[in-house]
Structure 1
Amino acid sequence: MLTLVSKEKTFMKSNMIPNIKETDFWRIRNFLREIFLLNGRVESSWHVARWDYWRWHYIKTCQVFKSYEKVTTTWQQEDESILAVLHPIGYGEVRLHIHPDFRTPEHEDEAFTFAEEHYSDVTDDGKRILIVPVFESDTLRQKVLANRGFKKVPGWGHHYWYDLDSSLPSRVSPNGYEIRSMGMLDEHPARCWSSWRAFHPDEPDEDYSGYSWYQNLQSAPLYRRDLDIVAVAPNNDIAAFCTIFYDDYTRSAVTVVVGTAAEYWRQGLGKAVMIEGMHRLKDMGCTRIFSTSHEEPADALYGSLMKEMKVSDSWVKVFKK
């Protein structure tokens, strides 16, 4: 449990630790859980599922950084209670997770000053940039970033959630397809090919990098095969998939990856695997599920199933040479 300390003991006087250890990774997981609950189970900070996905997919598979330890900064009190966590996620984009009792313009300004110095990235045309997604309702962070020279630019995120104590859509089984849990190792090639065809349909097949990465995803602490749901076609292709990470401490879950292979688009398969996941989560005691979209197809799917949504904008700083 996070130990709360007095607001008089300021964030500025806490210890900034620019690199973390393996033990800190697990402490940060619990910190994210605690502030998620303090924020009313809205993603003002990352859900712990996204923290896991960043490490086991973005870093271990995509290798956006050599290690998470060297790109994660914490602010801690003398008793080692965590007040804030700052890190890039790749491609010039950063995240700040901060305890609500210590969230002030001064504290956020200090964190983003550090981010500008250490976590910016260079674009293909040689520009140095830093990107911060900010909720439309978060005027505090918007003002901090505006004062630092950030500008709001086109680009959005839709952050959906659904409370599972509400009535759920009925399960659906599209004709000829089987909706079930992901299989064992022998099914990894089919699952990863489906992912390739879902997210890279216009790229040449020779760019396909294989399926060894899937074991990385399955190594994440919140991965469960019964929440890795697939739609299997009559020819045994995996046509669609919905992988969900469930955190029973906060009784909430995140759809970390959802997709349908291009050959099977517009048959209702994405909705079918998501609805199956929602029913399974409810049976486990989960009370809220989150999905985030940054593109139109995902937005249409999540919006068709989920009742609540918050919008984030991209705030970008382009540095002078």
Structure 2
Amino acid sequence: MSDLGPADLRLMQDLAQQVTALRPELVNGDATVGELAWVWAKDFDALNRFWRHRLWFVDGRLAGWGWVQLPYRIPRSDGKFRAVKTANLICQVHPDRPELLTEILDWYDETAGDADRSLILQDADVQARAIATAHGYAFDAETGSDDGSWHQFNVRELTDVPEPVLPKGFRFLTAGDVSVADAVKAHCDAWHSSSLTEAAFERVRRTWPYRADLHVLIAAPDGTLAATAIIWLDEVTRTAEFEPVGTHREFRRQGLGTALQLHGMQLARSAGADRMLVACLGAPAHPAARNMYYGVGFRELSHDVPLIKVAR
């Protein structure tokens, strides 16, 4: 399959709900309910033609899926090009069907062709890592190094959430209080490498389980949107997730990230969540986000094991 549409995405999110309920440490950090919604919606226009996906059903129920991004080269808004030379697989299998990973990796080989292949598994998923090793994958020492780009997944129970404290004149808002253009600008001011467009954000807003009242922002005294975070609430597992979280570069080191996290957790708890998830860079050389999340009570749930297979 090439076109990954809303119906198949929703099935993939349903499997994420099941794994989150049964074995949260086995949830691929790129395959949570919120991460799937965010990545699919924001990148659909630019990258859909480079995506391939397939679903595996057992007794009429989705038991596994694979989503491949083929190598690509696309123009950026600054006139340069954004290029990726390696194919990448995101996948998830039900905890009762670990053997499906073998079929997914066979399909990945066929789909990626002569491109080198990357894959992320979770450190706790010992069986999946053994299957991938038998399939020719090896640890990606560069990505997985102490200054690499691998991520860790963090969790916090939503008990005893302190009151947030904002600097004088700053105030909390939600996406319902601002225009689409302003919400996009707030994101891009926090993430300068982002190519989020208003059209892409409109798709984010239409993608389950986005809620404008759980998309929180902080306005500075002069009206600048200084920080932003989207909270994705899964009411079935009573789990909420921050993705993405960012602060305008001119307003960092003022405690806004901490205040936004605490405010967001209080909103998530009021909406019915019992626990909160968030991903961040896990390498020791990149401690800033991890330290902020640890400072508001998050602790590591799992972390990435990046793998690579060089094409013959």
**Structure 1: runs of 5 or more not aligned:** 1-16, 123-127
2:15 aligned residue: 31
Q: Is the Cα–Cα contact under 8 Å of residues 228 and 242 in structure 1 kept in the other structure?
A: yes
CA-CA distance at 1:18 after TM superposition: 8.3
Q: What amino acid sits opposite 1:100 in the alignment? A: P
Give CA deviations for 1:166-205 in whole Å, capped at 9, x if unaligned: 2112221222211122245x533333223222221xx7xx
1:49 aligned residue: 34
CA distance in 2, matches of 1:274, 1:119: 39
CA distance in 2, matches of 1:209, 1:55: 12
Secondary structure of residue in 2 paired with 1:72: strand
CA distance in 1, matches of 2:225, 2:104: 44
Q: Is the Cα–Cα contact under 8 Å of residues 245 and 254 in structure 1 kept in the other structure?
A: yes
In the alignment, structure 1 residue 180 sits paired with structure 2 residue 165: no
TM-score, length-scaled by structure 2: 0.81
TM-score, length-scaled by structure 1: 0.79
Q: CA RMSD in A?
A: 2.6
Residues 27, 194 of structure 1: alpha-carbon distance in 2 compared, 3 angstrom cutoff: closer
Residues 135, 210 of structure 1: alpha-carbon distance in 2 compared, 3 angstrom cutoff: closer
Give CA deviations for 1:46-91 in whole Å, capped at 9, x if unaligned: 322222223212224xx222386xx2211113x4222211112565
**Structure 2: runs of 5 or more not aligned:** 71-83
CA-CA distance at 1:19 after TM superposition: 7.5
The percentage of aligned residue pairs carrying the same residue is 19
In the alignment, structure 1 residue 245 sits paired with structure 2 residue 232: yes
CA-CA distance at 1:132 after TM superposition: 1.2
CA distance in 1, matches of 2:176, 2:232: 17
Aligned residues: 283
1:163 aligned residue: 157
Q: Which of 105, 116, 126 is the aligned partner of 1:112?
A: 105
CA-CA distance at 1:21 after TM superposition: 6.9
Q: Which of 44, 48, 53 is the aligned partner of 1:65?
A: 48
Residues 177, 89 of structure 1: alpha-carbon distance in 2 compared, 3 angstrom cutoff: farther
Q: Is the Cα–Cα contact under 8 Å of residues 119 and 307 in structure 2 kept in the other structure?
A: yes
In the alignment, structure 1 residue 319 sits paired with structure 2 residue 300: no
Q: What amino acid sits opposite 1:199 in the alignment? A: W
Q: What amino acid sits opposite 1:272 in the alignment? A: A
1:76 aligned residue: 57
CA distance in 2, matches of 1:31, 1:209: 27
Secondary structure of residue in 1 paired with 2:233: strand
In the alignment, structure 1 residue 302 sits paired with structure 2 residue 289: no
CA-CA distance at 1:275 after TM superposition: 0.8
Q: Which of 214, 221, 226 is the aligned partner of 1:234?
A: 221
More deviation in 41-50 or 285-294?
41-50
Structure (1 or 2) with the larger CA radius of gyration: 1
